Structure 1
């Protein structure tokens, strides 16, 4: 039996616990308003409830598109999504079409949306999507880096220590990595990526995608870090980094520094060397001797610790 739907036919039947309502996640333009889909326009004009990350930006979008929301407009952002998710799910259960939009891109992808989706799924209510612009996919597509397999890491951690640990965990990641970053932290993040992944790792900085001043800068991480450090980066930024070609071979100096960092935190030298060497696949004895040699060369005068 042919079950192929003809163009323009209705969507799948409502879920078992659905009274005809639905939650619709709709992608909004990430810069160029011309990227708004016809379905987004239709839903903005017909949905019973429009939940927006920023209601002022929603009204500006509607004005640019020449539509006016017929339904109730409510805010749904990171500060109220936990408390409002249940209300929106109630509206769906009552038979309403609830349209969820964020400031740009796809709801629930580093934007509010996840909690209301979970609330609806738990009640067997219908959840669907209107695909649209995505900064993640746009950056990946224009980066010039492999796009057959990738991982999206969201926003990089703000604190330097947490950021360094997060990037260290990506050192052996074979897939292309996509991250969001704020413009004023872009230089620091690129420098941290270069340190963790290697300055020669290919990458791209994608800025202001689809907008008038769109810019894509490609090159090794070290070069991109130097580029960002020498200017005021502005606008929305996506970073795309090539995956690892294989396990990164860490130099002796780096392993010595890691072992010394552990000893500074109170670990015995032999224990620190064992932990670092095991993680790097290196010799415990060789690393221990390298640390002692580095101390002697630095004239630290530190006596070798007891076994």
Structure 2
């Protein structure tokens, strides 16, 4: 019998924002797929949760996705978490969910904070209709072309920006 992938939202900044349901899920799964195990370890330690973790991020998602799915197919339950917010939104977790769908693995969402919705809520801009564009390209021409394509957009627009090094 196949296990389940739990797409589990985590706090954006305040650890107290982790929902009781998310805590229960993290306590009950067999292992956790984490974008950054060091960040997730701080969260788990705060709640006294001890679970094995598998690193799952942009540069290892193909190889680790296969490993994670194989474990779930063998009956283990897994929670996927990101560093902050909802996994799979402009996040490599999207690929894991697609892989699970292709393989017939059940996925369940454990809702949590979302940076997109939080930013929109406090923006003072119109919230009735909006568009989320995710991360813009770091390539100057691609970025400019993308922004030009949105020049006539009248809805509130939200973009992610990668941290500068």
Q: TM-score, normalised by structure 2?
A: 0.93
Equivalent in 150, 155, 159 of residue 135 of structure 2: 155
CA distance in 2 between counterparts of 1:182 and 1:121 reads 28
- Equivalent in the alignment of 2:37: 55
Mark the structure with the bigger radius of gyration: 1
For 2:8, the equivalent position in structure 1 comes to 26
Partner of residue 116 from structure 2, selected from 131, 136, 147: 136
Which of residues 86, 103, 109 is equivalent to 2:83? Answer: 103
8 Å Cα contact 1:150/1:177 also seen in 2: yes
Aligned pair 1:42/2:17, yes or no?
A: no
How many Å apart are 1:58 and its aligned residue? Answer: 1.0
The alignment partner of 1:51 has SS state of strand
Gaps of 5+ in 1: 1-18, 186-307
Q: Structure 2: how far apart are the matches of 1:38 and 1:134?
A: 17
Distance 1:184 1:93 in 2: 39
Computed over aligned residues only, the root mean square deviation of the Cα atoms, in angstroms, reads 1.6
Residue 85 (str. 1) matches residue 65 (str. 2): yes
1:121 aligns to 2:101 (yes or no):
yes
Query: Could you tell me how far apart the structure 2 residues matched to 1:28 and 1:158 are?
Result: 27
Deviation at 1:42, TM superposition (A): 1.4
Higher normalized contact order (CA 8 Å, seq sep 6+, divided by chain length): 2
Closer, same or farther in 2 for the Cα pair 1:66/1:176, shift >3 Å? same
- 2:13·2:84 contact (CA, 8 Å) conserved in 1? yes
The runs of 5 or more residues in structure 2 that have no matched partner are none
C-alpha distance in 2 between matches for 1:86 and 1:150: 35
Out of 147, 160, 164, the residue aligned to residue 180 of structure 1 is: 160
The answer to whether the 8 Å contact 1:151/1:176 transfers is yes
The separation in 1 between residues aligned to 2:152 and 2:58, in whole angstroms, is 32
How many residues are treated as equivalent by the alignment? 165
2:144 corresponds to: 164
Match of 1:128, SS state, is strand
Query: Does the CA contact (< 8 Å) of 1:44 and 1:68 recur in 2?
Result: no
CA drift at 1:57: 1.0
Structure 1 SS opposite 2:124 = coil
- C-alpha distance in 2, partners of 1:75/1:158? 25
2:55 alignment partner, one of 75, 80, 86:
75
How far residue 173 of structure 1 moved from its aligned partner, in angstroms, is 1.4
- Check whether the contact 2:80–2:87 (CA below 8 A) recurs between aligned residues: yes
